[in-house]
């Protein structure tokens, strides 16, 4: 069995900047739907991953990944050494609350370096101070518990974060609704799907404004008839 060895990869494969800019026009709901039913679910983190800022807008950028030993956060400092402006840090210690992975000092440095957000499977702390900094973060927990800085650590390796595979250079899309990880190979597909969905919704909103009902616009009336759905003009008590 090979011993556990700490490693930091300085470089990541980077997504097309033009596609990143197109993705920034959408919330993660549009990009999630743009990926399709299967990939969209596979790439979406759970509701445990909570935005810790209010009204922070949408963050889109390449993932810099950092694996931290439980109770330790050495890897985040290694990640901050190699991250570039526009990147998003994606941190995990396996999801436990032991040892806060992220706090206001690291946050202030990340903002100064031009990073655009941090996603933490684990605990963040100094939330009020981070909110004052205006730096977007997401985490699965809040805890002030002391972190060691002894390692082992790994940076820019594939990770499973809140049940989602994250490879270095994958595109992190996050807003108040949650966190979506788009593989680089699927970025164009997700963006084009989101653009198509946005165009369709413009038409739907216009038809609603003109007096039509979503039940008819979306074809639910026909679908309801096909499935044998009964619509009864009475209460359930009257029908009992």
Query: Does the pLDDT at position 197 exceed 50?
Result: yes
Into how many domains does the chain fold?
1
Question: Residue 43, Cα to own-chain centre: how many angstroms?
Answer: 9
Query: Does the pLDDT at position 2 exceed 60?
Result: no
Of the candidate ranges 2-11, 46-55, 226-235, the one whose mean pLDDT is the lowest: 2-11
Query: Does the pLDDT at position 240 exceed 80?
Result: no
- Report the chain's terminal Cα–Cα distance, integer Å: 67
**29 among annotated binding-site residues:** no
What is the phi/psi pair of residue 154, to 5°?
-145, 130
Note the pLDDT of residue 19.
96
224 falls within a domain: no
**125 among annotated binding-site residues:** yes
Note the pLDDT of residue 176.
94
Query: Does the pLDDT at position 70 exceed 80?
Result: yes
Average pLDDT of the residues in 133-153: 94
230 falls within a domain: no
**126 among annotated binding-site residues:** yes
Looking at every residue in the chain, the average pLDDT score rounds to 92
SS (H, E, C) 163-174: CEEECCCCEEEE
The CATH number assigned to the domain holding 178 equals: 3.50.30.40
Cβ within 8 Å of residue 194, ≥6 positions away: 23, 26, 30, 31, 33, 34
Note the pLDDT of residue 151.
85
Note the pLDDT of residue 221.
77
- Over residues 160-191, the pLDDT tens digits come to 999 999 999 999 999 999 999 999 999 999 99
Distance CA 35, CA 69 (A): 32
207 falls within a domain: no
**155 among annotated binding-site residues:** no
pLDDT band at 93 (very low <50, low <70, confident <90, very high): very high
**239 among annotated binding-site residues:** no
209 falls within a domain: no
Query: Does the pLDDT at position 53 exceed 50?
Result: yes
- Bond before 152 cis per omega within 30 degrees: yes
Average pLDDT of the residues in 201-205: 86
Average pLDDT of the residues in 213-218: 82
pLDDT band at 4 (very low <50, low <70, confident <90, very high): low
201 falls within a domain: no
The range of the structural domain enclosing residue 122 comes to: 7-193
164 falls within a domain: yes
Note the pLDDT of residue 218.
82
202 falls within a domain: no
**128 among annotated binding-site residues:** no
Note the pLDDT of residue 1.
40
pLDDT above 90 as % of the chain: 74
Query: Does the pLDDT at position 94 exceed 80?
Result: yes
41 falls within a domain: yes
């Amino acid at each position: 069995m090979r011993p556990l060895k700490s490693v930091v990869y300085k470089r990541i494969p980077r997504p097309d900047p033009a596609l990143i800019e197109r993705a920034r026009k959408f919330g993660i709901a549009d990009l999630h739907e743009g990926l399709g039913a299967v990939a969209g679910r596979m790439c979406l983190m759970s509701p445990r991953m909570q935005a810790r800022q209010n009204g922070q807008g949408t963050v889109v950028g390449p993932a810099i990944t950092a694996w931290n030993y439980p109770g330790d956060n050495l890897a985040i400092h290694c990640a901050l050494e190699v991250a570039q402006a526009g990147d998003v840090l994606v941190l995990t210690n396996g999801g436990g609350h032991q040892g806060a992975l992220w706090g206001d000092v690291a946050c202030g440095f990340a903002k100064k370096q031009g990073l655009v957000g941090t996603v933490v499977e684990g605990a963040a702390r100094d939330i009020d101070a981070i909110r004052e900094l205006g730096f977007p973060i997401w985490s699965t927990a809040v805890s002030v518990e002391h972190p060691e800085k002894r390692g082992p650590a790994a940076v820019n390796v594939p990770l499973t974060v809140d049940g989602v595979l994250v490879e270095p250079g994958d595109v992190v899309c996050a807003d108040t609704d949650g966190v979506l990880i788009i593989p680089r190979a699927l970025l164009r597909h997700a963006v084009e799907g989101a653009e198509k969905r946005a165009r369709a919704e413009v038409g739907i909103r216009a038809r609603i404004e003109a007096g039509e009902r979503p039940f008819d616009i979306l074809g639910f009336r026909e679908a309801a008839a096909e499935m044998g759905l009964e619509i009864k003009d009475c209460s359930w008590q009257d029908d009992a």
